[in-house]
């Protein structure tokens, strides 16, 4: 007796594509992007409709109008109230960049120092650093900024009673006044010698490390590098006739004129952000060092390396692979926390284009887009650099 024929039906094309993992992942990504762009389009359309109902036009033409307000701290480019909002925004962005760069440098130095001291065998040093770290990390950063600013504002004297250091540097509650360099003809030779010294140090370090790897001979790289970086430009400076003079600050009326003025708002903001972030970096450094096996240090001591050389050559290079990823987050936090500058009147990008310009022009959407893109750009640059540095410090597999 013949068995009944069984009809085989193939699954549809869409079902076969969906069952394929590669095709399914591509389809999900496409659907997600369509949904995302659709939501963004709906939001943009809603914003345009609301702006039209409010009688506002979405444009950046206001950037060409005179700003009409003053910026007291402008260390990089000159600015006056008759300049445009574009120039005011550039000054604010440069002021933000100045706080971010100087804050990151100071925080890194302080953080690594406190992280190492936190592991010190000296009980008193260990406890002092521990108390400072715990106190600082558990107080909001805004309070630190206000606290440091208050110290500068209320403990330093007025300009007429300024604290003088050798009649060249003057400390007041309106700022620190220092001599300003005046570059004369021939100073370009000094700049050229600085670049040459940097190149010499770069190639010397590579050569010294190569010799150390092949022969084991150790050169005093740090001492020689400092000597080259200082000695070569200094010799060039004297041989070219010392093409540099100084403009001294002088008290005229109720304030100092001439020289360089470092505003207390900048000092307070940078210092507060730096030591606040340094406390988190210190714990990251401590954790990175503790992640390295003690056998590494014991082996180095067995070979006769001193503790400082062991830390420099053995422990820190290995700990950096643990330290760098969370360190990037702290750099990003410091950069974004600089937006709190408006609390003490420091004219950064939030205070200029996102504050006064916004209130004068009523362009809330446009000004906030500029501020957001500024911080996004800074964050992406920091992330890209730290990712590159992290890849450079990663273990090379053979």
User: Does some domain include residue 218?
Assistant: yes
Res. 397 pLDDT band, cuts 50 70 90: low
Model confidence at 101: pLDDT above 80: yes
Model confidence at 13: pLDDT above 70: no
Do residues 291 and 203 both lie within one domain?
no
Model confidence at 190: pLDDT above 60: yes
Q: Which residues contact 265 (CB under 8 A, 6 or more apart)?
A: 73, 149, 341, 344, 345, 346
Res. 259 pLDDT band, cuts 50 70 90: confident
Model confidence at 263: pLDDT above 80: yes
User: Does some domain include residue 341?
Assistant: yes
User: Does some domain include residue 39?
Assistant: no
Residue with tokens 């001193």: 306
* Two tokens, residue 123: 């009980």
Give pLDDT, residue 169.
86
CA separation for the pair 211, 180 (Å, rounded): 43
Do residues 284 and 238 both lie within one domain?
no
The count of structural domains within the chain is 2
Do residues 196 and 214 both lie within one domain?
yes
Model confidence at 123: pLDDT above 70: yes
Give pLDDT, residue 1.
47
Do residues 184 and 170 both lie within one domain?
no
Give me the CATH number covering residue 289: 1.10.3720.10
Give pLDDT, residue 396.
59
Report, as an integer, the average pLDDT of 183-193.
Answer: 86
Q: Decide which of 370 and 22 is more confident.
A: 370
Q: Decide which of 335 and 306 is more confident.
A: 335
Report, as an integer, the average pLDDT of 349-358.
Answer: 89
CA separation for the pair 314, 318 (Å, rounded): 7
Among 10-24, 278-292, 298-312, top mean pLDDT goes to 278-292
* Two tokens, residue 397: 């597999």
**CA distance to 71, 122, 133, 230, 276, per residue, from 127 (Å):** 43, 9, 10, 38, 18
Last-in-domain residue among 247, 272, 290: 247
Res. 4 pLDDT band, cuts 50 70 90: low
CA separation for the pair 196, 183 (Å, rounded): 20
User: Does some domain include residue 71?
Assistant: yes
Do residues 284 and 378 both lie within one domain?
yes
Report, as an integer, the average pLDDT of 266-282.
Answer: 93
Do residues 293 and 153 both lie within one domain?
yes
User: Does some domain include residue 20?
Assistant: no
Least confident piece of the model among 49-63, 125-139, 379-393: 49-63
User: Does some domain include residue 6?
Assistant: no
Least confident piece of the model among 31-40, 178-187, 349-358: 178-187
CA separation for the pair 172, 28 (Å, rounded): 63
Q: Decide which of 247 and 273 is more confident.
A: 273
User: Does some domain include residue 11?
Assistant: no
Res. 42 pLDDT band, cuts 50 70 90: confident
Report, as an integer, the average pLDDT of 116-128.
Answer: 88
Model confidence at 3: pLDDT above 80: no
Do residues 227 and 271 both lie within one domain?
no
User: Does some domain include residue 269?
Assistant: yes
Backbone angles phi, psi at 354, to 5 degrees: -90, 0
Q: Determine how many CB atoms are found less than 10 A away from the CB of residue 257.
A: 12
- The pLDDT tens digits of the residues spanning 57-78 come to 777 888 888 888 888 888 888 8
Least confident piece of the model among 104-113, 170-179, 387-396: 387-396
Report, as an integer, the average pLDDT of 100-105.
Answer: 94
For the chain, percent of residues with pLDDT exceeding 90: 27
Report, as an integer, the average pLDDT of 324-353.
Answer: 90
Last-in-domain residue among 247, 275, 294: 247
Do residues 330 and 363 both lie within one domain?
yes
Do residues 117 and 191 both lie within one domain?
no
Range of the domain at 290: 53-175+262-398
Do residues 168 and 76 both lie within one domain?
yes
Report, as an integer, the average pLDDT of 283-296.
Answer: 84
Summary mean pLDDT of the chain: 85
Burial zone of 341 (CB within 10 Å; 0-12 exposed, 13-18 middle, 19+ buried): buried
Do residues 103 and 207 both lie within one domain?
no
- The pLDDT tens digits of the residues spanning 198-233 come to 999 999 888 988 888 888 787 888 888 899 999 888
Report, as an integer, the average pLDDT of 164-190.
Answer: 85
Model confidence at 309: pLDDT above 90: no
Last-in-domain residue among 247, 275, 301: 247
* Two tokens, residue 215: 């022969």
Q: Decide which of 382 and 29 is more confident.
A: 382
Do residues 216 and 354 both lie within one domain?
no
For residue 271, how many C-alpha atoms fall within 13 Å in the half-sphere facing its CB? 14
């Amino acid at each position: 007796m013949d068995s009944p024929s069984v009809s085989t039906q193939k699954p549809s094309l869409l079902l076969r594509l969906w069952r394929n993992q590669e095709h399914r992942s591509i389809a999900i990504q496409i659907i997600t992007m369509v949904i995302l762009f659709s939501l963004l389009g709906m939001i943009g359309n809603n914003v345009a409709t609301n702006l039209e109902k409010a009688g506002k036009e979405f444009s950046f033409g206001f950037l060409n109008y005179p700003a009409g307000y003053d910026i007291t701290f402008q260390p990089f480019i000159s600015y006056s109230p008759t300049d445009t909002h574009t120039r005011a925004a550039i000054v604010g962005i440069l002021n933000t960049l100045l706080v971010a760069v100087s804050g990151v440098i100071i925080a890194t130095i302080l953080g690594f120092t406190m992280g190492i001291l936190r592991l010190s065998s000296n009980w008193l040093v260990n406890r002092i650093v521990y108390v400072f770290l715990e106190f600082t990390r558990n107080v909001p950063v805004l309070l630190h900024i206000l606290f440091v600013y208050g110290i500068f504002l209320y403990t330093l004297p007025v300009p007429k009673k300024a604290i003088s250091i050798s009649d060249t540097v003057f400390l007041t509650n309106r700022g620190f006044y220092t001599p300003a360099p005046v570059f004369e003809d021939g100073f370009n030779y000094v700049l050229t010698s600085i670049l040459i010294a940097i190149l010499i140090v770069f190639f010397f370090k590579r050569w010294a490390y190569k010799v150390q790897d092949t022969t084991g001979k150790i050169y005093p790289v740090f001492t020689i590098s400092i000597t080259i970086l200082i000695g070569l430009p200094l010799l060039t400076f004297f041989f070219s006739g010392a093409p540099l003079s100084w403009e001294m600050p002088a008290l005229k009326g109720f304030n100092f004129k001439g020289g360089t003025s470092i505003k207390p708002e900048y000092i307070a903001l940078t210092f507060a952000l730096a030591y606040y972030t340094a406390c988190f970096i210190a714990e990251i450094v401590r954790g990175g060092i503790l992640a390295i096996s003690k056998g590494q240090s014991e082996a180095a001591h067995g070979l006769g390396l001193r503790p400082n050389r062991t830390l420099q050559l053995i422990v820190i290079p290995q700990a950096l692979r643990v330290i760098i990823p969370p360190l990037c987050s702290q750099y990003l936090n410091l950069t974004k926390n600089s937006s709190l500058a408006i609390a003490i009147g420091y004219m950064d990008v939030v205070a200029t284009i996102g504050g006064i310009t916004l209130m004068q022009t009523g362009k809330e959407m446009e000004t906030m887009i500029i501020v957001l893109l500024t911080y996004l750009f800074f964050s992406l640059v920091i992330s890209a650099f730290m990712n590159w540095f992290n890849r450079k410090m990663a273990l090379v597999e053979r």
